[in-house]
Amino acid sequence: MTRVAYFRVSTKDQSIEAQRVALGGTFDREFQDDGVSGATPAALRPGFSELLNFVSEGNTVLVSHVDRLGRDAIDVQTTVRKLLDKGVNVDIKGLPIIGRGFGAGDLVIAVLSQVAQMERDRILERCESGRAAARACLEATGKTHRGKASLGRPFKANAAAVLAWKSEHTASFAKTSEHFGLSIATVKRYASASKPT
């Protein structure tokens, strides 16, 4: 069985030694990410991405804490699922081994799934609550609770004037954006917003 250790520190001046000591023993391979935030999805971190390409069925990935995999339950669950799909066991210090052949590991995955769903629901609730507060404040004061004049992205120029110029000159999005000093994406957004729904 190949034992693969993964270490992550958020800043370059931190050391992975504490994590190595916490895991104890020796490892067949080690992968690490130095100066990479836990908010960065695991698959986008260079060290972890390399680990994903290296591991294969029967390997065990060891980490000292679940937050080394990610700070967000959704990302942690996705990462663990990727490893399990490759036939890799995950050994997080202090938790039962997570793997297809470990009953308790399956339970941990089920709990991670529930936590991930609760987190998704909470995010949606917070977003809707923020939109409701913004709408109410906009109606009452003409500005949102964050002091903005509208709920959407603010227009950088008069959209109608930009589109009229584009049409009059049969100009491309690129030419129009250059003429008004806007990004191409902004001109496309103006055009999209003007189309009848």
Over residues 72-84, the pLDDT tens digits come to: 777 888 888 889 8
Distance of CA 4 to the CA centre of its chain: 24
**Integer Cα distance of 66 and 11 in angstroms:** 18
How is the chain split into domains, by residue range?
3-115, 159-194
Q: In this predicted model, which residue has the larger pLDDT, 123 or 97?
A: 97
Mean per-residue pLDDT of the chain: 83
Q: In this predicted model, which residue has the larger pLDDT, 55 or 41?
A: 55
Is the pLDDT confidence value at 129 over 60? yes
- In the prediction, which pLDDT does 63 show? 92
Q: In this predicted model, which residue has the larger pLDDT, 161 or 196?
A: 161
Question: Under a CB-based contact definition with an 8 Å cutoff, are residues 62 and 47 in contact?
Answer: no
- In the prediction, which pLDDT does 31 show? 95
Active-site position among 10, 64, 167, 192: 10
Given 3.30.210.10, 3.30.710.10, 3.40.50.1390, 1.10.150.120, which CATH number is that of 3-115? 3.40.50.1390
Asked about 150 being catalytic, the answer comes back as no
Q: What is the band of 172 on the pLDDT scale with cuts at 50, 70, 90?
A: very high
Counting residues of the chain whose pLDDT is more than 90, the rounded percentage is 27
In angstroms, the Cα distances linking 96 to 62, 66, 75, 92, 138 are: 12, 12, 19, 7, 51
Q: Which of 36, 30, 35 is nearest to 6 (CA)?
A: 30
List, in order, residues 6 or more apart from 175 with CB less than 8 Å away. 169
Structure tokens at 138: 């906009």
Q: Is the pTM of this model over 0.75?
A: no
- In the prediction, which pLDDT does 121 show? 76
Residue 96 DSSP label: P
Residue 134's H or E segment, with its range, is: helix 103-141
Q: What are phi and psi of 196, to 5 degrees?
A: -65, 145
Task: Provide the CB-side half-sphere exposure for 148 (13 A, CA).
Answer: 12
In three-state secondary structure terms, 69 is coil
Tokens 């913004």 -> residue: 134
Is the pLDDT confidence value at 52 over 90? yes
Structure tokens at 157: 């120029």
Structure tokens at 45: 């971190």
